[in-house]
Amino acid sequence: MAKDQDCLQCGRCCEKWGWGQNGIPGDLAPWIADSRADILQHVSIRFADGRRANGAELSASDLPAISKIRYWVGPGGRMLDHCPFFLKGDDGKAWCRIHDTKPAVCAGFAPWADIWHDYALDCPACRDTAP
Ligand code: SF4
Ligand code: SF4
């Protein structure tokens, strides 16, 4: 299988796996530093002592106390069944509205990589994936 293949921006991976994912504190640090409340408001936080919070309430000093980070939530903390940053353009192509600062779980996902093996996506860029 080729190591690098070209994403065709069909959006299937974001539609199927772009929600209900776990985050890491390293995702949150730049969002806090850059006051990205537009992103942080969609993050669910649980601390090691059991407290829960919305990402928009966090400061950098809270990061070491976090035990779980979940993507994504809507108003009232309800888990979403879609990614709020996913866009389908008029040309049918998928776009990430936070591409430059997307979480590690998204940045590291390449369906053609050996560890993923397409993962039931029927990814059109995974042309060399064995059946
Ligand atoms: S499923 Fe494949 S081609 Fe479609 S957006 Fe994801 S990586 Fe790109
Ligand atoms: S944050 Fe971006 S890359 Fe991640 S699921 Fe949403 S649209 Fe896709």
Q: What is the pLDDT of residues 20-68, one digit of tens each?
A: 999 999 999 999 999 999 999 999 999 999 999 999 999 999 999 999 9
CA of 95 to the centre of ligand 1 (A): 11
Atom of ligand 1 nearest to the CA of 126: 2
Q: Which ligand is nearest to the CA of 101?
A: 2
Nearest CA to ligand 1 atom 2: 123
SS (H, E, C) the chain: CCCCCCCCCCCHHHHHHCCCEECCHHHHHHHHHCCCHHHHCCEEEEECCCCEEEHHHCCHHHHHHEEEEEECECHHHCECCCCCCEEECCCCCEEECCHHHCCHHHHCCCCCCCCCCCCCCCCCCCCCCCC
**Is the beta carbon of 11 within 6 A of some atom in ligand 1?**
yes
CA of 102 to the centre of ligand 2 (A): 7
pTM of the model: 0.89
Atom of ligand 1 nearest to the CA of 7: 8
Residue 108 pLDDT exceeds 70? yes
